């Protein structure tokens, strides 16, 4: 089972596959940045930066139909950072979120190659 579902993205622009490709490519380009930013903000105890970046990732997950369990991880990190609570739980959540980002990156790269002939 794929980690993503592109039906929502398709509904935004049903006759424009170029739009879909651009959104997916933007996400793929951002994945390393997301991971770096999350880890940087966490290690610096920058709660605002961590909250902002977790929110940004959650928005991308929504657009790409990433499975709910992974969207919920991003939302938990965002909420914990906002409230400055459960800081002991954040490292494990960051590992899970990073894993989901890398899995989505892999699968969406394959999607582009297979269905849009873009490597």
The predicted-structure confidence for 20-42, as pLDDT tens digits, reads as follows 999 999 999 999 999 999 999 99
Q: Is the pLDDT of residue 72 over 90?
A: yes
7-112: CATH, from 1.10.10.60, 1.20.1050.10, 3.40.50.300, 1.20.120.160: 1.20.120.160
As a whole number, mean pLDDT of residues 40-65 equals 96
Q: Is the pLDDT of residue 119 over 90?
A: no
- Write the DSSP symbol of residue 89: T
Share of the chain above pLDDT 70, in %: 100
The predicted-structure confidence for 106-117, as pLDDT tens digits, reads as follows 999 999 999 998
Q: How many beta carbons lie within 10 A of that of residue 53, not counting itself?
A: 25
As a whole number, mean pLDDT of residues 43-70 equals 96
Name the residue ranges covered by the structural domains of the chain. Answer: 7-112
Compute the distance between CA of residue 4 and CA of residue 87 in angstroms, rounded to an integer: 28
Query: What local confidence, expressed as pLDDT, does residue 24 receive?
Result: 96
- Write the DSSP symbol of residue 84: T
DSSP secondary structure string for all residues of 11-71: HHSTT-HHHHHHHHHHHHHHHHHHHHHHHHHHHTT-HHHHHHHHHHHHHHHHHHT--HHHH
């Amino acid at each position: 089972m794929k980690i993503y579902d592109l039906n929502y993205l398709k509904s935004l622009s049903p006759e424009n596959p170029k739009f879909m490709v651009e959104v997916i490519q933007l996400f793929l380009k951002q994945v390393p940045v997301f991971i770096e930013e999350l880890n940087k903000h966490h290690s610096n105890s920058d709660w605002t930066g961590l909250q902002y970046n977790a929110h940004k990732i959650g928005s991308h997950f929504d657009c790409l139909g990433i499975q709910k369990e992974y969207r919920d991880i991003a939302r938990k990190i965002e909420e914990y950072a906002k409230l400055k609570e459960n800081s002991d739980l954040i490292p494990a959540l960051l590992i899970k979120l990073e894993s989901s980002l890398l899995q989505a990156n892999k699968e969406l790269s394959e999607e582009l190659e297979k269905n849009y002939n873009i490597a």
